[in-house]
Amino acid sequence: MLNIADIAKDCLISHSTAKSWLSILETSRIVYLLKPYFKNITKRVVKTPKIYFTDTGLLSHLLRYKAPETLLAGPMSGAVFENMVIIEAFKHNNNTKSGDNFYFYRDNNGVEVDLVIDKGQSFNLYEIKASKTLKTEMAKNLSLVSINPSKKFVLSFNENTIPLTKNVIAISWSDFINNL
């Protein structure tokens, strides 16, 4: 979650300077701001977005992950994997001009879904997990969210497409990107 006040404080700069710098990073496509999903459209504009790097190589360099093995074993591996999947989906959406809208979901109880794709007539909800081993608890947050009509998926390193729960399908992240 993006917190401009914390960034400004950590960098010893003003809030307005931090917003200006962030705007430059977003305009130059170095970062992408994923907005939260709300049924009330005006809330989407004012609520806190999540920030993603469009270049995961740059992100890995800034995190000082020099090799893929280090990245996979590191404490940020899940966040970097989520970043990569969301950015690849965003790039695919832009390149194909499909016009889908991307969001994340978080409610007052802390239930969060990594990616919500608004396809106009329906929604697809995705939890992104940096794991090869599938567990039914990976679908927990998806089960707690009711955005209708919707399909629900867990994306991971696992290469099989299988039902994870009654309403959630597990698919590989690469199949997700290839079939957007």
**pLDDT tens by residue, 145-180:** 988 888 999 999 999 999 999 999 999 999 999 888
The share of the chain scoring above pLDDT 90, in percent, equals 76
Domain contains 119: yes
What is the Cα–Cα distance from 178 to 89, expressed in whole angstroms?
A: 9
Mean pLDDT of 87-91: 96
Burial class (CB in 10 A: 0-12, 13-18, 19+), 115: buried
pLDDT on residue 41: 58
Residue 40: pLDDT band (50, 70, 90) is: low
Its pTM stands at 0.90
Least confident span in 14-23, 69-78, 118-127: 69-78
Domain that holds residue 135: 31-178
Mean pLDDT of 38-58: 79
Query: For position 157, which CATH number holds?
Result: 3.40.1350
Domain contains 107: yes
Domain contains 8: no
Dihedral (Cα; 115, 119, 121, 123), 10-degree rounding: -10
Q: How many domains does the chain have?
A: 1
Residue showing tokens 């399908």: 169
Domain contains 60: yes
Domain contains 1: no
Domain contains 4: no
The share of the chain scoring above pLDDT 70, in percent, equals 96
Domain contains 18: no
pLDDT on residue 178: 87
Domain contains 38: yes
* Phi–psi pair at 130, nearest 5 degrees: -85, 75
pLDDT on residue 43: 57
